[in-house]
Amino acid sequence: MIAQAQRKVYDVCIVGSGAGGGMAAYMLTQAGADVVVLEAGGPWDNMRDSVMLRWPYESPRRGKSTKERPFGEFDACIGGWDIEGEPYTTAPGTKFGWWRARMVGGRTNHWGRISLRFGPDDFRRKSLDGLGDDWPISYDDLKPYYDRVDDLIGIFGSAENLPNEPDGRFLPPPRPRCYEMLVKSAADRLNVTCIPARLSIITRNHNGRPACHYCGQCYRGCHTNSNFSSTNVLLTPAARTGKLTLLTNAMAREVTLGSDGRANGVAYVDKTTSTDQRIDARIVVLAASACESARLLLNSKSSRFPEGLANSSGVVGKYLTDTTGTDVAGFIPRMQNGVPHNEDGVGGGHLYCPWWLDNRKLDFPRGYHIEIWGGRGVPSYGFMGGIDRYPEFGGYGKALKESYRRLYGTTIGFSGRGEMIPNEGSYCEIDSTEKDRWGIPVLRFHWKWTDHEYRQVKHMQETFRALIAEMGGEVFSPMPTREQGYGIADGGRIIHELGGTRMGSDASRSVVNGWCQAHDVKNLFVADGGPFVTQADKNPTWTIMALAMRTADYIIAQRNQGAL
């Protein structure tokens, strides 16, 4: 739906309606600003469009993935690694995958809702171990915003008082499932910290939304809005203010610049008519996701900014990071022939393991956390990953069914999610020849892991194998070798890409300041993962939203003072 409103001058134009864009829109509309959001994807409403509570056999493909729903036919999120007509390229030798959502709410329609705060050390890593850079802001600057995000959206967890895993304002966590209790006792014996997960799913009624009823299908979108998505938790109340104009199928092409050196709007393609359009605005906020915001800046060239808007430092697109990741799963014989019981819960693990070791005693810097999976949830297409991996599976017909009954729920797996150190070899730039279907130049990625990441992932593999052995289990796959990168996932594959418009106090080494405001263009802001200076061993979205909230507060204050 494209409104006939092009000649109006909005107070703020936000590009992207995901985690960062949704939060910026919520805050700015509540403060009375006239906001337009440009969203490249189509509309979505959890209450109308989610396919919660359907059986896998109700799907013609039994839930198998489709091109635009790579995580399964019932998944809420439309997007994927390959989007028709929107390519990206990689430099020779680079392995990088770019997952993009194309819908209102962006990736928050699917995400795992693991909602971790960065800790005090995560903002000053260079001071602690000499690697990478420090942020120009500290945990104390962001803490009030984490608190407000917790209160606004709702998150469960437990107060643990761990040094670099700050507690939040938590709702009560759900109880561990059977397999999670087994992991917990093995972790305790191996001195691996294992605590209740921290997910943005409400276990009590919260701000007009009902508590989760434990259907375990968060990835399909929640009819009752008991989990967080930007669409229904931020954009719906923003729309209620009457101050939000949401333009869907609006693909931003570039930020336009006035003769006064200020951004004055955004040029975009109306995908429904394939026509070029523009929005006029006093302030522009980019929240199209870290790499796409870098792409927009690099494509916004002018005589004043021949290398791309706000890129006098040459840092736009640089210092990209993703979470390091590897997985190990095993068969746990003790779980065979379990009494069938209800393992419903939230759509995600009820426990996790935050980083628990001291790097001074290890051969790699920075840490990782462990996500735990397994159990007896509703089976879907490809469940159990092939029964032939299990011992004594069998036969046809009745014997095979009995094998499934005996073996279902006997797999426990671990995913490591760790911190990559930004390096000069991991960045994106504009491809000199390739364009997308609207003629917009595309991104070309360069990616490099260093020994820091390889050694960290080796440690993950060894830890997960030790945990499975401690439970009396058998790992499904052999230990990957150094040549196999110890099983490290390719860049981008954990879908936590950050950086590209990093923040800093020194305008020659960073793109935005501590308020996510471009050094070069005072009325231009970035509200996604672009400004991150470090990756941390935490999933990034809670920090994206805390930063977006803080940036919006700054914009409101500056506007009130007439400074913007």
Ligand X SMILES: Cc1cc2nc3c(=O)[nH]c(=O)nc-3n(C[C@H](O)[C@H](O)[C@H](O)COP(=O)(O)OP(=O)(O)OC[C@H]3O[C@@H](n4cnc5c(N)ncnc54)[C@H](O)[C@@H]3O)c2cc1C
**Exactly one of 11, 39, 429, 520 binds ligand X (CB under 6 A); which one?**
39
**Site for ligand X contains 112 (CB under 6 A):** yes
* Site for ligand SF4, residues 333 to 352, rule: CB under 6 A: 346-347
Assess contact for 100 and 79: CB atoms under 8 A. yes
**CA 312 to each of CA 101, 352, 383: distance values in angstroms, whole numbers, following the listed order:** 30, 42, 51
Burial of 30 (0-12, 13-18, 19+ CB in 10 A): middle
Contacts 24+ apart (CB under 8 A), 272-276: 272/2, 273/2, 274/438
Distance separating alpha carbons of residues 472 and 102, to the nearest angstrom? 44
Minimum CB–partner distance for residue 47 and ligand SF4 (Å): 11
Assess contact for 221 and 50: CB atoms under 8 A. yes
**Exactly one of 50, 300, 541, 551 binds ligand X (CB under 6 A); which one?**
541
**Which residue has its beta carbon closest to ligand X?**
18
Under DSSP, the state recorded for 408 is T
Give residues with Cβ within 8 angstroms of 120, minimum separation 6: 138, 139, 140, 164, 166
Assess contact for 58 and 68: CB atoms under 8 A. no
- The nearer residue to ligand X, 105 or 473, going by C-beta atoms, is 105
**Contact of residue 213 among ligand X, ligand SF4, none (CB under 5-8 Å per partner type):** ligand SF4
* Site for ligand X, residues 255 to 314, rule: CB under 6 A: 287-289, 292
**Site for ligand X contains 495 (CB under 6 A):** yes
**Site for ligand X contains 412 (CB under 6 A):** no
Assess contact for 16 and 24: CB atoms under 8 A. no
Question: Does the CA dihedral 209-210-211-213 come out positive or negative?
Answer: negative
- The nearer residue to ligand SF4, 110 or 559, going by C-beta atoms, is 110
Minimum CB–partner distance for residue 509 and ligand X (Å): 23
**Exactly one of 42, 43, 87, 216 binds ligand SF4 (CB under 6 A); which one?**
216
Q: What are the two backbone dihedrals, phi and then psi, of residue 265, each rounded to the nearest 5 degrees?
A: 160, -170
**Site for ligand SF4 contains 218 (CB under 6 A):** yes
- The nearer residue to ligand SF4, 12 or 222, going by C-beta atoms, is 222
**Contact of residue 212 among ligand SF4, ligand X, none (CB under 5-8 Å per partner type):** ligand SF4
Minimum CB–partner distance for residue 154 and ligand X (Å): 15
- The nearer residue to ligand X, 330 or 540, going by C-beta atoms, is 540
- The nearer residue to ligand X, 186 or 235, going by C-beta atoms, is 235
Minimum CB–partner distance for residue 211 and ligand SF4 (Å): 8
Identify residue 442 by its one-letter amino acid code.
Answer: V
**Contact of residue 251 among ligand X, ligand SF4, none (CB under 5-8 Å per partner type):** ligand X
Assess contact for 353 and 368: CB atoms under 8 A. no
Contact residues toward ligand X (CB under 6 A) are 15-21, 38-41, 99, 101-102, 106-108, 110-114, 250-252, 287-289, 292, 495-496, 528-529, 539-541, 544
